[in-house]
Amino acid sequence: MAPTIFLLTLLLMSSSSGLCHVDDDQMPLDYVRFPYQAVYPGDNDVTANSIFSGITTFAKLPWVQCLTKDKAETFDIAFIGAPFVSLQNIVAAAGAHEAQDTGTSYRPGARFGPAGIRAGSRRLTLYGGYNVPLEVNPFLSGLKVVDCGDIPVTPYDNKYAIEQIEHGHKELLHRPTFSALGNDSVTGQPLLPISVDGKHHPRVITLGGDHTIVLPLLRSIYSAYGPISVIHFDSHLDTWKPSHGAIRTTLSGPADYANDDQSGFQRIEAREIDTIGTDGIIKKIRETVGDRPAYLSIDIDSIDPAFAPATGTPETGGWSTRELRTILRGLDGLHIVSADIVEVAPAYDTNAELTTMAAADVLFEVLSVMAKTPLGKVAD
């Protein structure tokens, strides 16, 4: 029996050694070990890489340290995180300072929004990233799209943190673009920038953070575009003492509407979708904005908590994820100069990551609209 056992041992060793391929032998054809630019499948291609591996950036975009060592790096669209939740220092009875999270009216946690949204975006390019309704693949549109990480935000000083967000956003906004503005697709005429400073600016999509971040972001936007239309999706007025969409919260009284009117907002109530549908809501937004440059701010609580429960102040009776995505696609052709999504608080999400996936999908629609419409106009 000894020779037989020896032969069997050799056979097992031979079989197991045949299974132990080296790493290089298992790599798919055309695999790049350390790609600078993420490689997305094109038409009729399949995904070779595991989307759940590697550093988690938005949609597996290349990570560029835009505010530190890569300050000279240019891009066309950048994702940047603003992990900010405003704090209020109060003096306790003993004289010690105690930090309170007061950036949301109900429950805190949005400072973890950027990380959560990036995690929810990992599957965006599982099948290549082609947006079927808008007929565009924003990742293969010829634009350079990157993830710049997060703006360093102090958790101890509201005023200074707001300044940090404004300066960080402005640093990206005033950087030269990677791609030229090009010509008008209809007339063939050269396009001119729509900014007030006459420069072609990249677009910045900010991952919040609570809704306080829109103040420094709009200050940054004003430095390049001057007065601008704001399309604001939110279940709350946020004007307690631009165009709102998805409003459905209770009020302290009719005076809240007066305050909102004085701020210049045109309101669209969430329940209007039952009578005028998504087409009617899109029509209202487009009539209000016209052909002016617009900034887009999306509070995740505009989506019903059945679809996006992880937010600071959820309100029932909201739009579904599908309805909001349809409305955003209806903004195709508008000059969306930059955008944000706020109030994602992953601690309240389900194990299935419903909210962070919804936030990522919403931004996919925003990115697609941006990719289709350059920030230029034909000379009069």
Q: From first to last of its 380 residues, what are the pLDDT tens digits of the chain? A: 444 443 333 333 334 444 444 444 554 545 544 444 555 666 766 555 567 777 899 999 999 999 999 999 999 999 999 998 876 433 333 333 333 344 555 666 789 999 999 999 998 988 789 999 999 999 999 999 999 999 999 988 889 999 999 999 999 999 999 999 988 888 889 999 999 999 999 999 999 988 889 999 999 999 999 999 999 999 876 544 444 445 555 566 666 666 667 767 788 999 999 999 999 999 999 999 999 999 999 999 999 999 999 998 889 999 999 999 999 999 999 999 999 999 999 999 999 999 999 999 999 999 999 999 999 999 87
Query: Is residue 101 within a helix (H) or strand (E), and if so which, with residue range?
Result: strand 97-101
Going by C-alpha positions, the residue among 250, 287, 291, 251 that lies closest to residue 266 is 287
Domain CATH for 296: 3.40.800.10
Q: Is residue 12 part of a domain?
A: no
Residue 234 assigned as binding residue: yes
Residues 6+ positions from 131 with CB-CB distance below 8 Å = 137, 138, 364, 365, 368
Distance between CA atoms of residues 334 and 292, nearest Å: 8
Q: Is 238 assigned a ligand-binding role in the annotation?
A: yes
* 150 in any annotated domain: yes
CA distance 243 to 265: 5
Task: With H, G, I as helix, E, B as strand and everything else as coil, classify residue 366.
Answer: helix
Whether residue 19 is contained in a domain is answered as no
51 domain-assigned: no
Q: Judge whether 311 lies within some domain.
A: yes
Q: At what angle do helices 354-372 and 113-120 cross, to 10 degrees?
A: 80
Domain that includes residue 130, residue range: 65-378
**Contact 189/199 with Cβ under 8 angstroms?**
no
> Which residue is listed with tokens 């004003």?
222
For residue 129, being part of any structural domain is answered with yes
Classify residue 17: in a domain, yes or no.
Answer: no
Q: List the one residue out of 165, 169, 166 whose CA is nearest residue 153.
A: 165
Centre a 10 Å sphere on the Cβ of residue 151 and count the other Cβ atoms it contains.
26
Q: Is 211 flagged in the annotation as binding?
A: yes
Residue whose token pair is 């999706």 = 233
List Cβ neighbours of 140 (8 Å cut-off, separation of 6 or more).
40, 42, 129
Whether 42 is covered by a domain: the verdict is no
Number of domains the chain is built from: 1
**Is 236 a known ligand-binding residue?**
yes
Is residue 167 marked as binding? no
